[in-house]
Structure formats: structure tokens, C-alpha cells
Amino acid sequence: MAQWRKKEKDETYSDDEIKARLEEELPDWYYEGGWIRRKYKTSGWKATLMVVNTVGHLAEAAWHHPDLTVSYAFVIVKLVNHAAKGVTDKDFELAKKIEEVIQWQPGVDDESALEGTPDDPRFKYLKYD
């Protein structure tokens, strides 16, 4: 695992650096059109809104504002640092936090007393990777 040097505030990554860092740290994210992106598949509108609200909360807390494409059964998150006009550490750090929270499955990923959603189609939420 490569150690990525901390860049200066608003210092952007090259296309090759972005692709390499995504491959290493965020394999479900991809680089396209100057943005790092991730598509989250959901079980329907209720789950889609929950993903949107989660991303919105994390982004607002980080004072970073992604673009979202929202449909019935998916959400696409797009990150770029608008002020820097490119992808920066800010984008990677927010992507990691979004990934950590959205993909969290209590009772599956940890020894939590929280059991997570039942394995029942009536309660499906996110289509986990």
C-alpha cells in the first residue's frame, strides 16, 4: 500500500495519481470527466433518500459539496474540489467517510450488539458490495 503524501491545501492530483489512489484506497469509486464518482445501488426510493441524506450530512459537516444524481434505485456521488478545479485530498477524505458510513453493516462487519437489517426482502435497504 503506497503512502500518499499529504498535498498542500487545494493542490490537485494528476489523472494518473487519482486513478492509482482510487484503485488502492477506494476500489468501488472511479474517475471520469474530472470527478471521482461512486454509484450506490439501493432497494428503492426510501433507501435512496436515506443515502442522499447521509451523504448530505457528511458533506455539510466537512464543508464540501458533492454533485448527486438521484433516481429510484441508485445514487451517484461525484466529488471534485470546485475551488481548486480538480481532485484534492478533501475529495478523497470525504469519499472515504461516505464509503465507511454507507457501507457499514452492523452485526456483519463487527461484533456489535446492533444486529443490522434482517435478511428479508421486505426490509432490504442498500445493495452492499
Amino acid, res. 90:
K
Q: What is the dihedral of CA 16, 19, 24, 29, to 10 degrees?
A: 170
- At 3 the pLDDT is 62
For cell 503512502, the residue is: 3
- At 65 the pLDDT is 93
Question: Where does residue 59 fall: left (phi above 0), alpha (psi -120 to 50 degrees), or beta otherwise?
Answer: alpha
- At 2 the pLDDT is 61
- At 109 the pLDDT is 62
- pLDDT tens over the chain, length 129 residues: 566 667 777 899 999 999 999 999 999 999 999 999 999 999 999 999 999 999 999 999 999 999 999 999 999 999 999 999 999 999 999 999 999 999 988 877 677 888 888 878 887 778 877
- At 37 the pLDDT is 98
- Contact in structure between 78 and 37 (CB atoms under 8 Å): yes
Question: Could you give the angle at the alpha carbon of 16 between the alpha carbons of 102 and 21, nearest 5°?
Answer: 30
DSSP state of 122: G
DSSP state of 42: B
Which fold is adopted by the domain 15-103? Gyrase A; domain 2 (3.30.1360)
- At 125 the pLDDT is 78
C-alpha cell, 100: 465507511
- At 120 the pLDDT is 82
Q: Strand, coil or helix: what is 89? A: helix
